[in-house]
Amino acid sequence: MSLRINTNLTETQPASPNRPSTDLHPAKGEQSARHEAFIQTLPVELLLNILGLLHIEWRTTANSSIPDEDKSLSPISPRILASVCSRWRDIIHSVPTFWTCVPIIVDRRQTPLSVIRFYFEASRTLPLNVTMTRRSSSFMEEDSQEKSRVGAVMDLLRPHMSRCESLHIDVIRRSSLPKIRCEDFAIAKELKLKCREDDEMDRPPPNAATRCEFQPSTLEVLHMTFRDFKDACERGVDWFRGVTELSLAHYAPLTREYPRGILTLYRLLGILQTSTPCLRSLALVDMHMPIDIDGYRVQAFHFPSLKRVTLENARGDLIEHLPRALSIPIPVLKLVRCVVDFVHIDPLNARLVLEEIGGEEYLAAFLDNWKGQTIFFQNCPTFHDEFLGWMAQPFVSEAVCHFSCPNLERLGVMKSPNFSVDCLKRVITARREAVIKWHGDVDTKLQFDGNIKRPTSIRKLQYIGNDAPPLSAGDEQWFRDNVEEFGWGTNQVDIDDF
């Protein structure tokens, strides 16, 4: 639902020439007075309901991890709505709930400290959700003052840390991330300490306290650098057991760690298996670790609740070996900015998400033996006509009709418009015709009969977003006739529900 509000409600609004007034001879002064009287006499309960709806919509975007602008200056933010008139200001200032979501910018055009202080005071004793980040365009800047700005905000926040349900910090350097103390962070459900580069990687491990010294049993979501995670583990900190979503970032072996201190994939999985038994989602970002060193015993690690694995900027050996090291297939595997040339993917992943896979990557070989049913392309230059031509070309012999992605039934595309509708139609047609030839109708599921492989048709197709290639009325009808579930330019969907 999208709501709009006119912040000039007390100004004179001339009557529209296309809509006659109910008064025979309205006067401008009288009309202005009626407008002002209306806004001033609107019942408080009704006004609160309207402001509450606006606040719900604002909160959905206010804690965006990488905003384009300061979300506290959004037209429907409490900070701006409170400036409409004195009555609105008094009402909004009197409702602590409106001030519990605190978006803070810490780049060169930072959120004023006076504004941050007011959010903390106006929220009174209610739980807080705090996001501290930079504008998306500022992450490539050289910013020597980032750490001091984050420190100034933390000085204001620390007296209120016990009220924090979530704290998200996303900055350039690891050295800018603050230290979190146990007594200050008691009811936390989410902690995200993210950085784009680990500028402390070559420094010796600190003898002082680790960056995170607390044991909140309520913590469910944790994003942090691997160095901080490793420090906590070495100090025996046991506060991961309730974590269901874990993201670890930035690791490369250092010379001083060889041979016994180096992290390998299997050592990491062994740590996680012990410390995060409730893990549902695991993300590894810029984790450039070897698979196995010094004869570490290879085994199948068991994460009974694991639903999703995300690998970002990962090497091919990690993409290949991580799924094989787990005792059960990964329901959703997401690859972001990964090199997939000559990589043999685990064929049993049911859902595969490919995001920002470069146009130079050769997906044909990568997906040839993948046997999952759902694939989702997001912002992928590799989703083009040449790729679709390969998807439409079967290998046929006496006993085999084999397409790459042989089990594919659901295809989702988002922010990847570099293809033609005709090529996409050829993919649908080729697979439907193969199914009809081998099965007699398109409703028959894929079966394996010894070495005989039979194809499946694409049953669900969606292009999400408003940048889809143009679709004629005839093409739209064709897709609706040939695909069970079809959407073009639809709203964002969760891959887990796709």
Proportion of the chain above pLDDT 90, given as a percent: 47
Among the listed residues 108, 116, 94, 95, the one whose alpha carbon sits nearest the alpha carbon of residue 148 = 108
- The answer to whether 296 touches 268, Cβ cutoff 8 Å, is no
Among the listed residues 318, 314, 408, the one whose alpha carbon sits nearest the alpha carbon of residue 355 = 314
The encoded tokens of residue 187 equal 């009811």
Binning the chain into helix, strand and coil, the percentages to the nearest 5 are 35, 20, 45
Instruction: Dump pLDDT digits (tens) for 41-100.
Output: 788 899 999 999 999 989 987 866 567 788 888 889 999 999 988 889 999 999 999 999
Beta bridge partners of 449: 452
d(CA 201, CA 253): 10
Return the domain boundaries, the chain: 37-168, 365-498
Quickly count: other Cβ atoms within 10 Å of residue 137's Cβ: 11
Q: Residue 415, SS3?
A: coil
Judge if the upstream peptide bond of residue 417 is cis by omega within 30 degrees of 0: no
Strands 395-396 and 190-197, bridge-based pairing? unpaired
pLDDT tier at 13 (50, 70, 90 boundaries)? very low
Residue 79's contacts (CB-CB under 8 Å, 6 or more residues apart) are 72, 73, 115
Q: If residue 105 lies in a helix (H) or strand (E), which one and from where to where?
A: strand 101-105
Quickly count: other Cβ atoms within 10 Å of residue 176's Cβ: 21
Stretch 376-382: mean pLDDT, rounded?
92
DSSP per-residue codes, 262-288: ---HHHHHHHHHHH-TT--EEEEEEE-
d(CA 35, CA 26): 13
Q: Which of the two residues, 64 and 179, has the higher pLDDT score? A: 179
Distance of CA 113 to the CA centre of its chain: 28
What are the φ and ψ backbone dihedral angles of 143, each rounded to 5 degrees? -140, 95
Quote the DSSP letter at residue 205: P
Residue 5's contacts (CB-CB under 8 Å, 6 or more residues apart) are 50, 54, 75, 76, 81
Stretch 314-335: mean pLDDT, rounded?
91
pLDDT tier at 7 (50, 70, 90 boundaries)? very low
Instruction: Dump pLDDT digits (tens) for 137-153.
Output: 999 999 999 999 999 99
The encoded tokens of residue 138 equal 């500022």
pLDDT tier at 420 (50, 70, 90 boundaries)? very high
CA distances from 467 to 24, 191, 283, 375, 380 (A): 49, 34, 28, 19, 13
Among the listed residues 434, 384, 377, 436, the one whose alpha carbon sits nearest the alpha carbon of residue 411 = 377
CA distances from 231 to 168, 208, 419 (A): 20, 11, 47
The encoded tokens of residue 94 equal 């009197």
Q: Which of 267-271, 330-334, 359-363 has the highest mean pLDDT?
A: 330-334
For the cut 90, the answer to whether the pLDDT of residue 27 exceeds it is no
For the cut 90, the answer to whether the pLDDT of residue 8 exceeds it is no
- The answer to whether 310 touches 336, Cβ cutoff 8 Å, is yes
The pLDDT of residue 338 is 92
pTM, full prediction: 0.83
The encoded tokens of residue 225 equal 């650098």
The encoded tokens of residue 54 equal 């606006």
The pLDDT of residue 38 is 61
Proportion of the chain above pLDDT 70, given as a percent: 76
For the cut 60, the answer to whether the pLDDT of residue 355 exceeds it is yes
Among the listed residues 267, 275, 253, the one whose alpha carbon sits nearest the alpha carbon of residue 198 = 253
For the cut 60, the answer to whether the pLDDT of residue 20 exceeds it is no
The pLDDT of residue 211 is 58
Whole-number average pLDDT of the chain: 81
For the cut 80, the answer to whether the pLDDT of residue 433 exceeds it is yes
Three-state SS letters, 151-204:
HHHHHHHHHHHHHEEEEEEEEEEHHHCCCEEHHHCCCCCEEEEEEEECCCCCCC
For the cut 60, the answer to whether the pLDDT of residue 309 exceeds it is yes
Q: Which of 124-133, 220-229, 397-406, 434-443 has the highest mean pLDDT?
A: 124-133
CA distances from 306 to 9, 240, 272, 279, 326 (A): 52, 15, 12, 6, 10
Quickly count: other Cβ atoms within 10 Å of residue 305's Cβ: 11
d(CA 86, CA 367): 61
- The answer to whether 167 touches 194, Cβ cutoff 8 Å, is no
For the cut 80, the answer to whether the pLDDT of residue 6 exceeds it is no
Instruction: Dump pLDDT digits (tens) for 366-378.
Output: 888 788 899 999 9
Q: Which of the two residues, 91 and 216, has the higher pLDDT score? A: 91
The sign of the CA dihedral 489, 493, 497, 498 is positive
Stretch 412-430: mean pLDDT, rounded?
94
The encoded tokens of residue 205 equal 């491990």
d(CA 106, CA 151): 10
d(CA 406, CA 394): 9
